[in-house]
């Protein structure tokens, strides 16, 4: 954060005086390191999103396996009942054979062997049934734990959306929207609420909105925040050594917003600033209205999934 601050301080300084080649090279190197750090943070977010998707797949597989175990348990219970009935019939026959041993010795031996085989099969089936029952109970417990954690996370996301929406009630729907998508809260702020054309300095009205948002988020320690800057496809009119294109503009705008959120109480380690330039439009840049909608900043709030990953690893 201190390096980014120095970066902007040098930008202002360099705009008012002639910069030596050495200082310019140092500043350019600083910018490269800052962009590398941003790429690393973006990769971390992508990894977290991949883990969240993998978690949902494993959860679905666990539910499917649990259903299969339940089917096997019911089949074995029916088999056990059938074997017990057959065992009872053979035991009765065995007793009858004992009373008629003079005529039935050979049959008796055969029936004894069958009875022993059935008893062995019965005992084996009982052991399998006990094992399946234990495994099914354990898996059901895991499924219940996962469902409860996911339900808690969904409730926390909905509560957070409600808190953010209430904090931003005073602002027009055309200026900002709050919605939940893929288990995350998306706060989308239009350019006209935050910046003048081509500017990276947040307007006073935008500062007020961001301060309200920071107030709603600052006590949430179990979330991660990504601030994404977006532009239309119209090239910037004023280039400088530090802002060559829309990509640079989107990054600097995201950084300006990040600083306001941190100043408002959001923990720096929870927030990442990123810029996507013109490469993630909401719609085609073919009309002024569409371009205006594409010029926006999205603040993406993701719940911390460490608890879910720990439960999966212990499975």
> Of all residues in the chain, what percent carry a pLDDT higher than 70?
89
Count of alpha carbons within 13 Å of 80, Cβ hemisphere only? Answer: 14
Rounded CA-CA distance 219/263 in Å is: 14
DSSP 143: H
Lowest mean pLDDT among 134-143, 156-165, 185-194: 134-143
Sheet of 176-181, strands arranged across? 176-181, 184-190, 296-303, 223-230, 271-275
- Could you read off the pLDDT of 78-132 as tens digits, one per residue? 888 888 888 888 888 887 777 776 666 777 778 788 888 888 887 888 788 777 7
Residue 133 has pLDDT above 80, yes or no: no
pLDDT value for 213: 94
Cα separation of the two ends of the chain: 39
- Could you read off the pLDDT of 170-183 as tens digits, one per residue? 888 788 899 999 88
pLDDT value for 173: 78
- Could you read off the pLDDT of 4-48 as tens digits, one per residue? 445 555 455 555 555 588 888 888 888 888 888 888 888 887 887
Q: What is the mean pLDDT of the chain?
A: 83
User: 187 vs 9, which has greater pLDDT?
Assistant: 187
pLDDT value for 2: 47
Domain 159-313 listed as CATH 3.30.1330.60: yes
């Amino acid at each position: 954060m201190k390096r980014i601050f120095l970066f902007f301080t040098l930008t202002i300084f360099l705009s008012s005086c002639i910069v030596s080649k050495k200082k310019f090279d140092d500043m350019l190197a600083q910018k490269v390191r800052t962009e590398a750090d941003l790429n690393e943070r973006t990769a971390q977010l992508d990894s977290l999103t991949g883990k969240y998707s993998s978690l949902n797949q494993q959860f679905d597989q666990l539910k499917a396996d649990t259903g299969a175990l339940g089917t096997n348990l019911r089949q074995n219970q029916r088999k056990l009942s059938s074997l017990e009935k057959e065992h009872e019939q053979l035991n009765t026959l065995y007793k009858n054979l004992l009373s008629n041993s003079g005529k039935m010795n050979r049959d008796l031996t055969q029936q004894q062997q069958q009875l022993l085989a059935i008893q062995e099969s019965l005992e084996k089936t009982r052991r399998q049934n006990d094992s399946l029952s234990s495994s099914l109970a354990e898996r059901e417990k895991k499924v219940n734990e996962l469902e409860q954690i996911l339900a808690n996370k969904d409730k926390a996301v909905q509560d957070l959306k409600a808190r953010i929406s209430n904090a931003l009630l005073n602002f027009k729907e055309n200026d900002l929207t709050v919605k939940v998508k893929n288990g995350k809260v998306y706060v989308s702020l239009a350019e006209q609420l935050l910046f003048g054309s081509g500017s990276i300095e947040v307007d006073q009205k935008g500062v007020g909105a961001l301060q309200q948002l920071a107030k709603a988020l600052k006590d949430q320690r179990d979330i991660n925040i990504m601030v994404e800057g977006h532009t239309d496809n119209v090239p910037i009119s004023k280039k400088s050594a530090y802002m060559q294109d829309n990509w640079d503009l989107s990054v600097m705008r995201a950084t300006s917003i990040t600083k306001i959120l941190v100043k408002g109480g959001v923990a720096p380690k929870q927030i990442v600033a990123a810029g996507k330039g013109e490469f993630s439009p909401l719609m085609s840049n073919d009309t002024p209205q569409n371009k205006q909608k594409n010029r926006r900043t999205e603040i993406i709030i993701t719940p911390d999934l460490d608890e879910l990953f720990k439960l999966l690893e212990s499975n």
